[in-house]
Amino acid sequence: MRVYLFVLLVAAAVTYLLTPVARWVALRTGAITALRDRDVHAVPTPRLGGLAMLGGLAIAMAVASQIPFLRGVFEDTGRAWGIVGAAAMVCLLGVADDIWDLDWMTKLAGQSLAGGFLALQGVQLYQLPVGDGLFIGSPRLSLFVTVVSVVVAMNAVNFVDGLDGLAAGVIAIGGTGFFVYTYLLSRESTPTDVSNLATVVIAALVGACLGFLPHNFFPARIFMGDSGSMLIGLVIASAAIVVTGQIDLQNLELVTPRQTVPAFLPILLPIAVLMLPLLDMGLAVIRRVGAGRSPFHPDRLHLHHRLLELGHSHRRAVVIMYLWTAVFAFGAAALVLLSTTTVLVVLGAAALVAALLTLGPLRGRVRAADPAADSDAGLPVPTDAGTGDTPAAPVDRARRDTGARADHHEGIHP
């Protein structure tokens, strides 16, 4: 455990120190999130935070490769460095998009290439651990499922990156739950050797997110941009594929009966970690397709925007999203230690508390729209993108009181 914590701290320290450099690069290259009609953040903010996160991840993995305890993890250099290489590919793709606004086909092609590269390096779904294991017989189907899984994860994280500190915090919290899960599962199945590629990758990812958060939490001095959201989406998907698609179901004799669920359904934790991003993306796609728009057409109807409409401040909306992530991620991870019944009871109680905090008396009062107040304060009066209509009151309040922002990019929107 101490080795993994050391890797986490290295990633956090390096990311924290490199973030001001990434901000300087963003200012020099013009990678700045300017104010647009659909946005609600009040100050143009540089992005490219993903560059710092990539540096933290890469250096942490390089340090980990020199630790004797983790030597076995890096014997198969293709998988470990394949993840870092694919992360660098999507980070550079995101940098190009943050600077030049790439079209959606270019982004999709780049994301697919990174997923394909990852699969060619051995990080590939060969089976889905359901029951005795559902094997993917066709190599082409295995490659396809791997690429789709990676692309979906990247775009899900991109969709949820809409408030200062939200995506980094959600992945840090969910990744911590994933870290606990993979570590405990390794300890139970192979108590003599708890070194594991998924665990070290998640430790480095959580560290990179934590190192970036001090610069990104409200009011943010830098956004992670697509270079960051795609990077963390790819890395957490890679770790999920390692533990989900390549777990040896025949070597879990040491797992006790009460641990049958986490042992034979390790796909549960990755879904729980990405529950909010996946839910947000799914609702957005249904909403937009139902309205006859592109699934990637940006709007202000994401889960975090709904929280602002309920009257929550920027910080409180982010913390509530953190809380829901913790409920899902740690609820799933607890299956390694506790019985399913106990976990369901605790999970139900935690969900009730989270619901009360979301809908309860902590909400502020939603004031009526007051465009004159925004004008007097020197803030532009927002309009609904493409229509010219003045938006509902909560969005004006969000800009005036919280400085909340809308997503710079959403997945692979046209």
Calculate the CA 31 to chain-centre distance: 21
Per-residue pLDDT at 184: 81
Distance CA 329, CA 107 (A): 29
User: What is the DSSP secondary-structure string of 287-307?
Assistant: HHHHTTS-TT---S-SHHHHH
Alpha carbon distances (Å) from 112 to 57, 88, 360: 21, 14, 42
Q: How many CA atoms lie within 13 A of 355 on its CB side?
A: 6
Burial class of residue 293, CB neighbours in 10 A (0-12, 13-18, 19+): middle
Per-residue pLDDT at 66: 93
The angle subtended at Cα 157 by Cα 22 and Cα 169, nearest 5°, is 65
* Nearest in space to 268 (alpha carbons), one of 281, 259, 255, 256: 259
Contact, 225 vs 49, CB < 8 A?
yes
String of b and e for 87-106 (b: at least 16 CB within 10 Å)?
bebbbbbbbbbbbeebebee
Distance CA 136, CA 94 (A): 31
CA-CA-CA-CA dihedral for 176, 178, 180, 184, to nearest 10: -170
Q: Which residues of the chain have pLDDT under 50?
A: 252-260, 262-265, 366-409, 413-414
Contact, 217 vs 321, CB < 8 A?
no
Fill in the DSSP letter of residue 221.
S
String of b and e for 119-157 (b: at least 16 CB within 10 Å)?
bebbbbbbbbbeeeeeebeeeeebbbbbbebbbbbbbbb
Helices (H), 222-339: 225-245, 260-264, 268-273, 275-290, 303-309, 314-333
* Nearest in space to 212 (alpha carbons), one of 220, 342, 409: 220
Contact, 94 vs 409, CB < 8 A?
no
Contact, 332 vs 322, CB < 8 A?
no
Helices (H), 30-69: 49-65
What totals of helices (H) and strands (E) does the chain contain, helices first?
Answer: 16, 4
Q: What SS3 class is residue 265?
A: coil
User: What is the DSSP secondary-structure string of 143-194?
Assistant: HHHHHHHHHHHHHHHHHH--STTHHHHHHHHHHHHHHHHHHHHHHHH-TT--
Per-residue pLDDT at 163: 82
Residues 6+ apart with CB under 8 A from 20: 215
Alpha carbon distances (Å) from 107 to 64, 126, 147: 31, 26, 14
Fill in the DSSP letter of residue 274.
T
Per-residue pLDDT at 368: 40
Q: What share of the chain is helix, strand, coil (3-state, %, to 5)?
A: 65, 0, 30
Distance CA 187, CA 405 (A): 42
Take residue 391 and report the two structure tokens written for it. 């938006």
pTM of the model: 0.80
Instruction: Give pLDDT tens digits for 103-159.
Output: 888 999 999 999 999 999 989 887 765 555 566 767 888 899 899 999 999 988 988
If you search the block for the tokens 């925004």, which residue do you land on? 374
Pairing of strands 127-128, 134-135: antiparallel
